Amino acid sequence: MTRPKDAEARRAIAPVICYPNETLPAVPLDLYRGARAGARKVDEALAAPREACAFRVKAGQFFRISSVEGPQVGDLNLWNANDLNERFYSGKSRALHGTHLTTGERMWSSFPYLRPMATIIEDTLEWYGMDGFGGSVHDVIGTRCDPYTGNLLQGSQYHHCCHSNLIRALAEAEGLSLKEAEPLVHDVLNVFMCTGFTRDTGQYFMKASPVRPGDYLEFFAEIDLLGALSACPGGDCSSEHSSDTAACYPLLVEVFEPEAGALGAWQSPPVNGYDRSHGMG
Ligand SMILES: [Zn+2]
């Protein structure tokens, strides 16, 4: 097909937002923060450098992911603790909220559940916003570093990519074989990672994370959660991942329990209301 005469006019058409999100269920941020204020710490887990840790958070509890010791990005997976088929849906979370998540936005679950799994209630990197390269923090555009892509591009056999770290953590937490665990690992929320797409070629890029020790991202658990967090072998992802080259640091996960009654009449969100008949009968 040849370029049409009105090519420029077609290019100049203004975009429309695919999913206007004003009709999403309201986020009761004040309620969550009020409950968090009186909460006490009940558990913690540490993701060692180039390893992942698993953790459990009950519906109505909070969890905080913190940078400790040095700049480090983390790859986060979430499952319904009572049904591992329900897991975080990075692509739909991106479609609903945009390329990067921050305070007041949610991690949504896979079909046919499609409900909030966790809501971000604090983000100490919110100040970063969007930089001049189109980069921002906590993306849902990357997948997770994995040994298959490294093998495809470099012929490598590297065993501490986030994909493998998450598989080992899930297998250990649930008593699964590697074969059983691998298909349950999914695209992540890239905690603290600074990423975007290049304007000229549209390629996925990363740059040094602005995270400093003490920075954190904090969530309210909307349903009972099993989480796994990998301290990415890319460290702050300023140069490369999928190798032992970058400086890597641990990431801390802390779980907090609010006081009884602090959430008032709050209830876990129900699964999605679509009737699942898909046009049959
Ligand atoms: Zn990684």
**Three-state DSSP class for 151?**
helix
E-strand stretches of the chain: 40-47, 52-57, 62-67, 74-80, 83-87, 106-108, 116-123, 136-139, 189-197, 204-207, 216-221, 225-231, 251-257
pLDDT digits (tens, 9 = 90+) for 61-103: 999 999 999 999 999 999 999 999 999 999 999 999 999 999 9
Ligand 1 centroid, distance to 53 Cα (angstroms)? 14
Token readout for 179 is: 């074969």
Within a domain: 134: yes
Q: What is the pTM of this model?
A: 0.95
182 alpha carbon – ligand 1 mean position (Å): 15
| Spacing, Cα 208 to ligand 1 middle (Å) | 14
Which structural domain range is residue 152 located in? 42-211+229-247
pLDDT in tens, 258-270: 999 999 999 999 9
CB 24 within 8 A of CB 92: no
Q: Domain count for the chain, please give it.
A: 1
CA–centroid distance, residue 51 to ligand 1 (Å): 10
Residues 194 and 36: beta-carbon distance below 8 Å: no
How many angstroms is it from 232 CA to the middle of ligand 1?
Answer: 4
Report the side by side order of strands in the sheet with 251-257: 40-47, 251-257, 62-67, 216-221, 116-123, 106-108
Q: Tell whether 138 is covered by a domain.
A: yes
- Going from the C-alpha of 86 to that of each of 2, 100, 235, 271, 279, the distances in angstroms are 46, 22, 29, 10, 23
Q: In the structure encoding, which two tokens stand for residue 153, read together? A: 């591009």
**116 inside domain:** yes
Q: How far is the CA of 39 from the centre of ligand 1 (A)?
A: 31
- Ligand 1 center from residue 162 Cα (angstroms): 4
| pLDDT score of 257 more than 80 | yes
| Phi, psi torsion values for 226, nearest 5 degrees | -110, 125
At residue 63, the pLDDT reads 98
127 lies in some domain: yes
Does the pLDDT value for residue 281 go beyond 80? no
Tens of pLDDT along 182-195? 999 999 999 999 99
Structure tokens at 9: 């006019």
Q: Is residue 27 one of the residues assigned to a domain?
A: no
**What separation in Å is there between the alpha carbon of 269 and the centre of ligand 1?**
31
**Distance from the alpha carbon of residue 226 to the mean position of ligand 1, in angstroms:** 19
pLDDT tens for 142-181 read 999 999 999 999 999 999 999 999 999 999 999 999 999 9
Cα 234 to ligand 1 centre (Å): 6
Q: How many Å lie between the centroid of ligand 1 and the Cα of residue 144?
A: 5
Q: Is the pLDDT of residue 211 over 80?
A: yes
274 alpha carbon to ligand 1 midpoint, in Å? 35
- Position 260 in a domain: no
Please tell me the predicted confidence (pLDDT) of residue 240.
Answer: 75
Q: If you measure from the C-alpha of residue 265 to the centroid of ligand 1, how many angstroms do you get, rounded to a whole number?
A: 39
Give the other-Cβ count within 10 Å of 201's Cβ. Answer: 8
Ligand 1 centroid from CA 78, angstroms:
16
For residue 7, the CA-to-ligand 1 centroid distance in Å is 41
Q: How far is the CA of 164 from the centre of ligand 1 (A)?
A: 9
Q: Give me ligand 1 centre to Cα 52, in Å.
A: 10
Tell whether 88 is covered by a domain.
yes
Q: How far apart (Å, rounded) are the C-alpha atoms in residues 62 and 255?
A: 6
What pLDDT is stored for residue 22 in this prediction? Answer: 86
Model pLDDT, residue 180:
98
pLDDT at site 266: 97
